[in-house]
Structure 1
């Protein structure tokens, strides 16, 4: 029987990636779901919590919990925006900046593991195909929400 389930392999890779990230981040005292906020907060300046949600299609409640935990651990600061009182600005602390190289090294390692001996062109092709799949899935979910 031919195996045609794209979702099966995406799901397996996703679970393995989460297990790897969780294991590596645990060494730093953060969770596998918190690292995304650290690596995507600029070293200088701020980013809004909403921008992070939009960029990574994250649930706002999930982001609030993750950011709060990192604030409590001293890695991020979270302040009300001066220009939009409904928005929070996130900035990274010196303590948080010190973690970023280790996190990036682990992410780069995992990317290399997944890519194996693929050429740059093959990697680009895989990424483009995954983006297409993501966009189709998102579009389908938006249709379901409209009904």
Structure 2
């Protein structure tokens, strides 16, 4: 992909998400967390950190902001006093469901630019790149559900 086009697609993606998430006082950086917590609640903080692509300090800031906003709770893990258990709240569930719709809206916007054959080819290319990178970084392919 042309680097300029890729940068511009990312720019529009960020702009799209920022506009849509503004209503929920949610930054686009928190979206992957609320989505994961929604599907895996309750989840240990360490598990969450290991399953996202962001730095540990970024995760901590995002989690603390979502606690402040009432989207999740963060309680000490009774089995491991150094860790926390993250649980989604009712307010968080509603926001997570709307985040899911927004992400689907973005995908539909992208898909509308391509015909079915082009979408299939793009998915095949993304998958090839993904497996090549996974091999390069010597990561285990056992946990495919988080992709």
User: Normalising by structure 1, what TM-score?
Assistant: 0.76
Distance between the aligned counterparts of 1:62 and 1:88, measured in 2? 16
- Post-superposition CA distance 1:35-81 (Å, at most 9, x none): 22111113674112232232222101000000100100100111122
Determine whether 1:22 maps to 2:18.
yes
Could you say if the C-alpha distance between residues 115 and 54 of structure 1 is closer, same or farther in structure 2, counting changes exceeding 3 Å?
farther
**Equivalent position SS for 1:31:** coil
**Cα drift, residue 8 of structure 1:** 4.2
Q: Which runs of 5+ in 2 are unaligned?
A: 138-147
Could you say if the C-alpha distance between residues 107 and 129 of structure 1 is closer, same or farther in structure 2, counting changes exceeding 3 Å?
same
The residue that corresponds to 2:142 in the other structure is none
Out of 68-77 and 96-105, give the one that drifted further.
Answer: 96-105
**Equivalent position SS for 1:86:** coil
Q: Which runs of 5+ in 1 are unaligned?
A: 140-147
The residue that corresponds to 1:98 in the other structure is 94
The residue that corresponds to 1:68 in the other structure is 64
Report the aligned-residue RMSD. Answer: 2.7
The residue that corresponds to 1:122 in the other structure is 121
User: Normalising by structure 2, what TM-score?
Assistant: 0.76
**Cα drift, residue 132 of structure 1:** 4.2
Residues 43, 92 of structure 1: 8 Å contact kept: no
Aligned length: 135
Distance between the aligned counterparts of 2:7 and 2:128, measured in 1? 16
- Post-superposition CA distance 1:90-132 (Å, at most 9, x none): 1100011111221111100111122233436335314314424
